[in-house]
Copies of this chain bind each other. A is one copy, B any other.
Amino acid sequence: MREGVSGTGRGAGPRRSQEIFEATLDLLAAQGYEGLTVEGVAERSGVNKTTLYRWWPSKGALVSAALTGAGRLGLRVPDTGTLRGDLEAIVRQVVDLLTAPPTSAVAVAALGAVTHSPDLARSVRGFFADRLAREREVFERAVARGELPPDADPVLLIDLLAGAVWLRVVLRQQPVEPDFVPRAVDTVLRGAATR
């Protein structure tokens, strides 16, 4: 008896999805998006190359599925009692995501490959939309507490903060000093609050 709905795969994916996803992300982390090959994933995951192509038409689609299906890159929504605390926590998470192994390699490679694969781009859009949706409650709490005017734009704040981290870490490749997080949050927060 194959308990539950359907056992191994719920009709959407090969039998060894897990091994495949893990192999994909491992290799992505190790060699970057360009260095990632479908053959490599096949070999490492013990699956035949044709099986991969049967399910995903391109490298981008495979990586995209691996990111979604393997559940790394999660966001824990903080609740520290103050908007400042919450934002600092969020920004710190972003910094960690992009700099702390082992996630960083995957995250940077995946996000950086947005320009290379429409499939991946779609997936990344979804990733951000999801994040934003979940971060929204932080701002709702802040508005309820009176820390933020009701017409403040959470998306803008997050874009500013997360964008700064990306620019610094990935594009300018400059280390993030310890006081970067509070200073960034402080600047943005004042601007938003004194509206």
Contact = CB atoms under 8 A, between A and B. Distances in A.
Interface of A: 32-34, 108-109, 111-116, 121, 124-125, 128-129, 153, 156-157, 159-168, 170-173, 180, 183-184, 186-192, 194-195
Copies in the complex: 4
B190 A194 contact: yes
A162 B167 contact: yes
Contacts of A34: 34, 116
Contact of A190 (B113, B168, B195): B195
Contact of A187 (B170, B171, B188): B188
B184 A160 contact: yes
Contacts of A165: 163
